[in-house]
Amino acid sequence: MRIDIGWLREWQTLAAASVALIAAIVAFQNTSRSLRHSERLETRRRNRKHAAVRAVLPLALAQVSDYAERSARALDSLVKKCIDELLPPMTATEDIIQRLPSETLRTLSEFIEYSDSVETRLIEETVAWIQIQDSRLRGLLDDNRDPSEPRLTLKTEIQGRIIDAASIYAGASAGFEYARRRQDQLPSTISWDAVRGALRNMRFYDDEYPELHAILNEREKRTKGPFERLRGT
């Protein structure tokens, strides 16, 4: 008598498929647990890095403020050399290009990178303005000292760069409350009043520098704040 074992083959196939399915489910669960564990470790690492960078952020911001004030003072010395509202050729010196420690920019860059739950636009725009300031001052120096074709620079242009330095100072100052753990978030931007305060902190007072404050007032009529141009508004 011949016995039909087809059902046995079907059962074996079903059993093998079930075992494969169970193995796949177990593997998926193990992978998911591993991924969740890795994510928790990465989140913890990033949070610790953020805390470490935040701890040194006050020093970095203080260095930015110092850079801005040194830049403003060097520019003010050029304003005093202007004749008939113009800066004479071969007058600018390299000290108008102030140096900001590389570790300061690195700290700010790392702060931006590891701030997952903090709006960092203010720091980003302050760093961008530092780079713009550096580029503009290098251009001013090159133009003024080019022996083949020196370009005359208006006094108002130099004064405008002083206001830009004050904007950098104000941007750094606005971050101190967060850096010192007195606030949980950074401001989203700075106002022209903050720039006025920065000018006064750098001893560019209204009564002693009326032209400077007049230029600031004109800028205020055109934009809501010094960093608005970076936002394309």
Query: What pLDDT does residue 40 have?
Result: 74
> 86-87 and 153-154: which strand pairing?
antiparallel
Helix 102-114 and helix 121-145: axis angle, to 10°?
Answer: 150
Residues recorded for the chain: 233
| Beta carbons of 81 and 87 less than 8 angstroms apart | yes
What does the pLDDT read at residue 129? 94
Greatest Cα pair distance in the chain: 123
Of the candidates 72, 56, 183, 68, the one whose C-alpha atom is nearest the C-alpha of residue 127 is 68
- Name, in order, each residue with C-beta under 8 angstroms of 114's C-beta and a sequence gap of 6 or more: 46, 49, 50, 53
> Tens of pLDDT along the chain (233 residues)?
554 555 456 656 655 666 666 666 666 666 666 656 566 776 788 778 888 888 999 999 999 999 999 999 999 999 999 998 999 999 998 989 998 888 999 999 999 998 888 899 999 999 999 999 999 999 999 999 888 876 788 999 999 999 999 999 999 999 999 999 898 899 988 999 999 999 999 999 999 999 999 999 999 999 889 988 776 54
